[in-house]
């Protein structure tokens, strides 16, 4: 389920980026999903998440950051990413008027979405969803990347593997505890940063079902 191609104007940057809208019949909400640093909106993981969410009644809008749109491997500066996040949210509002919105994404995309929200609320967005929040670089643990989350007032859902080298479990729990009732942490036992697990901890399909169920139930409960 690739989705319907859409064009996302980014007026602040004087450019446009590509998007993919999946809008199932009877959708109850929509998640604006940004990609990770090294893979775009068509990455198989985001394809599977989008299809799973559609089956559970949640629409998605995936989109490209400008650097991948132009074929570069170097991520854009935060200001460019923030402008792109805002533009994608605006298109989601226009394409699915009336649907409750959440926003976030995989790793870098989720962090850029929360950066945008911390600077000024994203219009219509009622919650943030992080698929592997990149709390720190591998081998260099710390929590400074989460400081901006203190300025986020909407509910946040952290979905994280217990073997994620980008977020040591004890440090992530420290951040979530600090954010108090605004934050919910859902751990995938044995999952790495890509939510891959060993056979002992389950299957890819089982992990996907768990992620989809957690996102949709949290959305229904927390941000409707």
Instruction: Count up the domains in the chain and report the number.
Output: 1
CATH of the domain at 73: 3.40.50.1820
Q: How far apart are CA 159 and CA 211, in angstroms?
A: 7
Q: Residue 224: what pLDDT?
A: 66
Q: Residue 128: what pLDDT?
A: 98
Q: How far apart are CA 187 and CA 204, in angstroms?
A: 15
Q: How far apart are CA 137 and CA 118, in angstroms?
A: 21
pLDDT in tens, 31-47: 999 999 989 999 999 99
CB of 50 within 8 A of CB of 22? yes
Backbone angles phi, psi at 86, to 5 degrees: -60, -40
Cβ neighbours of 146 (radius 10 Å): 24
> Tokens 């962090």, residue?
111
H helix runs in 126-203, sequence order: 169-179
Residue range of the domain that includes 128: 4-222
Whole-number mean pLDDT of the chain? Answer: 96
Q: How far apart are CA 208 and CA 153, in angstroms?
A: 28
Q: Which of 109, 107, 3 is nearest to 65 (CA)?
A: 109
> Tokens 């994203």, residue?
122
Q: What is the pTM of this model?
A: 0.96
| Strand, helix or coil for residue 79 | helix
For the chain, the 3-state helix, strand and coil shares in percent, each to the nearest 5, are 40, 25, 35
191-213 mean pLDDT: 93
pLDDT in tens, 160-185: 999 999 999 999 999 999 999 999 99
pLDDT in tens, 81-121: 999 999 999 999 999 999 999 999 999 999 999 999 999 99
Q: How far apart are CA 11 and CA 19, in angstroms?
A: 16
Q: Residue 223: what pLDDT?
A: 79
Q: How far apart are CA 50 and CA 65, in angstroms?
A: 18
């Amino acid at each position: 389920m690739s989705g319907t191609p859409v064009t996302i104007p980014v007026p602040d940057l004087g450019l446009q980026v590509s998007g993919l809208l999946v809008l199932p019949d009877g959708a109850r909400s929509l998640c604006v999903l940004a990609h990770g640093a090294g893979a775009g909106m068509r990455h198989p993981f985001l394809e599977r998440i989008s299809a799973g969410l559609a089956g559970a009644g949640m629409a998605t809008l995936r989109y490209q950051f400008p650097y991948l749109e132009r074929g570069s491997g170097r991520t854009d500066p935060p200001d460019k990413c923030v402008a792109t996040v805002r533009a994608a949210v605006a298109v989601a509002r226009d394409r699915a008027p009336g649907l409750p919105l959440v926003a976030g994404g995989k790793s870098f995309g989720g962090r850029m979405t929360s950066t945008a929200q911390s600077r000024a609320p994203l219009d219509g967005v009622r919650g943030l969803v992080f698929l592997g929040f990149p709390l720190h670089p591998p081998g260099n643990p710390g929590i400074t990347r989460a400081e901006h989350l203190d300025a986020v007032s909407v509910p946040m859902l952290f979905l994280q593997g217990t073997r994620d080298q980008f977020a040591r479990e004890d440090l992530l729990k420290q951040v979530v505890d600090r954010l108090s009732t605004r934050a919910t942490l859902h751990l995938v036992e044995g999952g790495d940063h890509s939510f891959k697990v060993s056979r002992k901890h389950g299957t890819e399909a089982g992990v996907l079902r768990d992620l989809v169920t957690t996102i949709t139930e949290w959305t229904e409960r927390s941000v409707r």
